[in-house]
A and B are shown apart, each in its own frame.
Chain A
Amino acid sequence: MKTLHHLIFWLLALSSAAQDSYSKILQEELTREFEILSKEDPPVYYMDYRYQLKNSWRANASFGKIVSAINVKNGDAFVQLRVGSPEFDNFHEVSQRSMRPFVLPEAVTYNPSAESLAQTFWQKTMEQYAFTGSQYLQKKNLIQQEEQESIADFSPADAQVYYEDPIPAMSPADFEKVQTLIANASKAFKGVPHLKFGNVAFNYNLDRKYFFSSDEQSIVQNYRFARIIVTCALRTEEGDEVYQSKIFDGFSPKALPEQAELDEAVQSLIDKVQQLREAPKAEPYAGPAVLSADAAGVFFHEILGHRIEGHRLRQKINAQTFKKKLGEQVLPKTLSVIFDPEMSIYEGQDLNGYYQYDDQGVKGKKVSIIENGILQSFLMSRTPVPGIDQSNGHGRGDIRNHPVSRQSVMQISTSKPMEEDKLISMLKKECKKQKLEYGYYIANVTGGYTTTHRYSPNAFNVAPTEVYKVFVDDRPNQLVRGVNLIGTPLAMFSTIEAAGDRSAVFNGFCGAESGSVPVSAIAPMILATKIETQKKVEKSSTGPLLPDPMLVSNPNN
């Protein structure tokens, strides 16, 4: 009966995916292998195939010329085998680290024949099987010596069939046009004094993702994202580097700016970095600050987002900041946080963290994580945690790693939105209260990192690129340089005083144990009553001995 059910399922899946010959090959091979492996001892009770076709276009321009331009196509394959039973399998968390097999980076078929695709997945399955059987037995032995939690290792998931049509590749003519666009924009860097580098880069990734599992999940979906990144760094008199960047992104190259807008952005960036070069260095500081909406997204991603990724609650080395805090207040009552992978656009801005199905074939679901400051849930993959035994579609990983719970599109909202002017005046008031001459306005950040394990301070570090002193008197704001925002999460949450009435989007790529995944954060401006900054690491350089030849007259100028 089960076999018949299986057959009906795959027939349905294949009819919806009829346009795609790869689906048929992969599903047939998975079924054939699972039939045999599920009867082995120890049995494989679950397996999935992930196949990802990557088509990427990358170009980089500087001083009006193209420095590199490539279109790379490749394919990647990944197999997950679960041995034992959902209650206890080879993925069970144990305190002793087990080595994963080292797999040589290899090119996997991107334009496959039926034979090469099936053979590739068979090879990957056999590689995994050689490892997982012994891993399961090792853990089984080990766990008998440890306290065992009565919690399953793998949760059930619904059967799914989902198919998206392929998206046409970028044409060579369009790629040429983009190259002209960025080359023209990069002309502005010519003649900039003290320039260390000035680049305009274009990236467009168009991935086709296939997922099939023995749990009757058949997902074929696309991922795409286009970007233009403008970067510029100048040398200061002291030999440090000051840096600014500006990112434009969207699902397709069509979402990127036209020439005039891009030219203006490059010029504005150059002006900003030149101002920054002349700005004084900031001293270490502890006091109130306002984080712009642009900066707040990164801030929440680092200090909050990584700590509500469910699988960390099962890692014995993890600090498990929120493990026992379900139902407790962790943020001010005015703040709420949701994760919604199905949200594709916010106020006209495409969201990089959008997806329909996660990398475990589970439909991405909107999750309310914090409501009015109270912790409600965690981001869940198919690895259950105490109190939550189902995935909410956040099992994510790149094609070379097993998925774990990861962030998608985070949205922070406030029930008491305040206008920017009001927040600034609250900042000044708080400074006066703390007997400080000034507070900080953090206008922009590039990224950050956080540690969540127990063996080092559970801290975060966010790297601002544009920071202003806001004086309590009527002096104008003063741009400063060389600041890093640091702290510990719980202390930081307790200082969030208010939030703004307008939100901004941060699109990025987040790296963690399951690799790099695309994410987004939508956050309002926030006021914190106490932040801490430290000086940035300075790059010691005495600077070039001879002047930049581009600034010296030459036959071509």
Chain B
Amino acid sequence: MKTLTKYILSLAIACLIFLSNGALAQVPPHQEIIFKAMEDEMERSMNELSYEDYKKPFYIEYATNLGTAGIVGAKLGGVTEKGTFPINFPTVRLMVGDYELNDEKFNNKESRVFHNDGNSPLSIEPDYDMLRRSLWIMTNNVYKTASEKFENQLDIMEQNNYTKADMIATDFAKAEPLQMIVEEPIQEFDLNYCEKIVSDLSSKATEFQFLSDFSASISYITMHRFYVNSEGSKTLMPYALARLIVRAEAMDEKNKVVGQELKYYFDRQSDLPTLEILGQDAEALISNVKENLGAEEFSGRYEGPLIFEKGAVAQLLVEKLCTRGNGLISNPRNLVYSSKEGLFWGKLFSWDKNIGDKFLDKSISVVSYPFLEEFEGKRLIGGGEKFDLQAVVPQDSLVLFENGYLRNQLNDRTPTENQPRSFGRSQPYLSNFGSSNGYLRLSLVQKRGPDVIEVSSSEKKSMEALYATAKELADEEGNEVLYVARSLSTSADSAPINFYVVDVESGSEELIKGVNYESNSTSLKDLACVSMESSAYNMLLVDDKLLRDVMKRYERAPDEIKEFFRSMNTTGGFPMSVISPNVVLLEDQELKASGTDNIPQVVPVPSPLSVR
């Protein structure tokens, strides 16, 4: 979390504008009760847990998550939803075996062991007895499952002549115990203030008759995470994040809905732009939707230089670099068994074996800065945590790409073949529940994720020089035009990306719609040059592996159902920040027309807004 001194400094100012800027919550009371319950139950479990002839656990960790999630949404000036939801749940991780070989990295496709002797809820107000009871029954369930699963794993390994020596990596990396209580108060969000923001914002749209819908919603999570493990770690981490989504919709000439969004992420209410700025952004969004409706349709195919600007650069880089496995997030392989295929290493895609290989243009370096809280005055939601969710303190910076060569992947305590120790990137993952922009919630499963990633180049050019290079490249290829992908200019972290066709001769540009760009594996190798200036963007990075797994389950479902599950699984993600050049020029890129359904929708009744 952010440093205490900064909070104290901001407290004086915040007190003056208390009502509009939310309140600072107290350091969680009952801290001792919570830690004592966790420690007492852990001690009992480590000492006394015993199940038939199975092995005892060698590692246990408990986390207790206490806080509040809130949401308020509005549409065309009317409130659609408003409420808060208590966060009060513990998580238990327990392993049987040892660091080299344990139950977690084995998947028997034919035998799923699962024990459930019940569950016991936590109270909203922390209570020693209820927390112990909850941990007790969860530990029991996890232990019985893990011990049976591990016994089964050992039997199968023996039958298949596998030993510890055959393991490609240890199953769990050792880590130094960490005792760190971050006693910073977290800022709470004022739901009534948020309601005013979204109501006022969404009511502005009623002046625009061509819109078919306009909505705004703020959802937030504010919590404390208490953590202990059997190695002696004990941490307390405050956590807060909020998201504002502004969405405008209109119908095109075929009555298909064209929707565009602005997204803002902030961990202090005071970092939300003023209503005046948000209003200007909203108007820019509405204008952009209108301009897109009237824009020329892209046709045919284009091959040549492509310029990315602002948020489009960040989006491109994240798409190319931040995938799990074949990207900067590690993807350890499991030992898998099925009677048909035998015992084998999971065929997971991974760059792990490619550490040391060149993937990017030689000018490009990528570095992770987990403690970075601000960049040129902009608050970074991905940085500032003092330790990760497994109580590992990351190093100040971690080089991921150096001059185009892959050096490291972001990982946690589950090692890969070439990265045996944790870099401390067990990160919070937020998903949502309720409506489509519903309550944010913290995932129960620990995941490896990014924090603050800076992408930089050793070959920078001024904007003028960069555009001149682009024109030269276009000329060389005999193109009369080149294309620019540029995000709408607002104060939002994420804004719609427009494509513009630029006349090479005159330099004039025109908005064009219906463009489909798919970057390929060599896109960033074709990087010609980048601008001198950089900007930072906050975002929630979707776990692409999770999304693929979900979509695989529904591959035969109707399109609407697929879309439903896609949208439900792309609204959350890892809070991360990207610092990226303002402009990037890629050589030899391909653009196609996006396939559109040409059957017009029948909408016989004009919208009420349009007839006012």
* Residues of chain A at the chain B interface (Cβ within 8 Å): 29, 32-33, 36-37, 40, 60, 62-63, 65-75, 99, 101-102, 104-113, 115-120, 122-123, 125-126, 129-130, 133, 190, 196-197, 235, 541-546, 548-550, 554-557
Contact = CB atoms under 8 A, between A and B. Distances in A.
Contacts of A32: 605, 608, 611
A546 B136 contact: yes
Nearest to A33: B605
25 contacts: A32-B605, A63-B129, A67-B88, A71-B83, A102-B558, A102-B564, A104-B564, A106-B436, A107-B80, A110-B80, A111-B82, A115-B77, A117-B78, A120-B75, A129-B602, A130-B601, A197-B120, A544-B137, A546-B45, A546-B49, A546-B136, A548-B133, A548-B136, A549-B44, A550-B133
A65 B125 contact: yes
Interface in B121-135: 121-125, 127-130, 132-133
A62 B123 contact: yes
Nearest to A103: B560
Nearest to A35: B605
A122 B608 contact: yes
A110 B125 CA distance: 30
A119 B75 contact: yes
B606 to A, nearest CB: 8
B608 A37 contact: no
B604 A67 contact: no
A542 B75 CA distance: 52
A109 B75 CA distance: 7
A75 B82 CA distance: 11
Nearest to B147: A545
Chain B interface size range = 35 or more
Interface string B179-221: 0000000000000000000000011001000001100000000
Contacts of B140: 544-546
B117 A119 contact: no
Nearest to B125: A65
Contacts of A116: 74-78, 80, 202
Given A67-B122, A109-B75, A546-B48, A75 B80 contact: yes
Contacts of B434: 107
B342 interface: no
B136 A104 contact: no
B463 interface: no
A67 B609 contact: no
A448 B77 CA distance: 44
A115 B212 contact: no
Given A115-B78, A119-B608, A123-B213, A70 B84 contact: yes
B609 A73 contact: no
B206 A113 contact: yes
A33 B127 CA distance: 56
B603 A126 contact: yes
A34 to B, nearest CB: 9
A60 B206 CA distance: 41
B29 to A, nearest CB: 15
A419 B429 CA distance: 63
B604 to A, nearest CB: 5
A126 B561 CA distance: 19
A143 B589 CA distance: 54
Contacts of A67: 88, 121-124
Nearest to A72: B83
B560 A70 contact: no
Given A67-B123, A541-B118, A545-B140, 10 more contacts: A32-B608, A32-B611, A70-B86, A74-B80, A102-B564, A107-B435, A108-B80, A550-B129, A554-B40, A555-B128
Nearest to A99: B558
Given A66-B124, A123-B213, A544-B140, A102 B561 contact: yes
Interface string B554-587: 0000101100100100000000000000000000
B144 interface: yes
A545 B77 contact: no
Interface of B: 36, 40-41, 44-45, 48-51, 73-86, 88, 115-125, 127-130, 132-133, 136-137, 140, 143-144, 202-203, 206, 212-213, 434-437, 558, 560-561, 564, 567, 601-605, 607-609, 611-612
A104 B567 contact: yes
Given A62-B121, A65-B123, A130-B601, A556 B436 contact: no
Given A106-B435, A106-B436, A545 B144 contact: yes
Given A63-B130, A65-B123, A545-B143, A36 B78 contact: no
Contact of A550 (B132, B143, B607): B132
A294 B122 CA distance: 34
Nearest to B122: A67
A548 B121 CA distance: 14
A2 to B, nearest CB: 20
Nearest to A116: B78
Contacts of B49: 545-546
A32 B545 CA distance: 48
Contacts of B51: 545
Contacts of B436: 104-107
A554 B75 CA distance: 52
Contacts of B560: 101-102
Contact of A549 (B77, B116, B133, B437): B133
A153 B232 CA distance: 71
Nearest 5 CB-CB pairings of A with B: A116-B78, A65-B123, A112-B78, A113-B77, A116-B76
Nearest to B141: A544
Nearest to A239: B117
Nearest to B44: A546
Contacts of A68: 86, 88, 121, 124
Given A545-B143, A548-B136, A107 B605 contact: no
B78 A109 contact: yes
Contacts of B117: 235, 541-544
A109 B123 CA distance: 32
B202 to A, nearest CB: 8
A115 B122 contact: no
A66 B77 CA distance: 35
A105 B565 CA distance: 11
A118 B78 CA distance: 11
Contacts of A125: 605
A549 B601 contact: no
Contacts of B44: 546, 549
Contacts of B120: 62, 197
A256 B123 CA distance: 23
Contacts of B80: 74-75, 107-110, 116
A179 to B, nearest CB: 10
A450 B303 CA distance: 63
A118 B605 contact: no
A130 B602 contact: yes
Contacts of B116: 541
B563 to A, nearest CB: 8
A542 B144 CA distance: 10
Given A115-B77, A544-B136, A126 B121 contact: no
